[in-house]
Amino acid sequence: MDTTASKTIKTLHFGEINVEPQHIFHFKEGMLGFENLKEFVLISEEETVPFKWLVSMDEPEIGFPLLSPWHIDLTYNPGKDIDAEKVVLFVVVTLDSSKGQMSANMKAPIILDVENQIGEQRILRSDKYSTNYIFPKKENV
């Protein structure tokens, strides 16, 4: 496999995207429920800020909306074994359109080592966080 050539993927939400190899994160264990997917790209779109998207390079129709856990809980603490100075943390967000609710998996954050382009989804030992944290509804302003 040529690791120096860029690769074009066709995504559902963003159309065709040309991805340089240095922007691909390698997930040795895959993602929970998607253990067979090992390579992902992080996509930032101005229209969806503060959300980012983790899109599979192998199956670009599979993507996960991400948000910084500190956008949800300013006191979020992933534990001493995760150095937030050296990695970037995100949580996977889910929209339940039938209830109009958003939830986040605060228990299993996505950890991205940007320097080495390595990613992992780690289940935290603490019982403090839920896999289905419901966002409080904001009142219309």
71/32 Cα distance (integer angstroms) = 22
Asked whether the beta carbons of 26 and 118 are under 8 A apart, the reply is yes
- Is residue 76 within 8 A of residue 82, CB to CB? The reply is no
Has residue 1 got a pLDDT over 60?
no
The predicted structure's pLDDT at residue 3 = 57
Q: What is the CA radius of gyration of the chain?
A: 16
Q: Is residue 141 predicted with pLDDT exceeding 50?
A: no
pLDDT in tens, 16-66: 999 999 999 999 999 999 999 999 999 998 888 899 999 999 999 999 999
How are beta strands 118-121 and 24-27 bridged, if at all?
parallel
For the beta carbon of residue 112, count every other beta carbon within 10 angstroms: 22
Q: What is the pLDDT of residues 119-129, one digit of tens each?
A: 999 999 888 99
Q: Give yes or no for a contact between 140 and 134, defined as CB atoms under 8 angstroms apart.
A: no
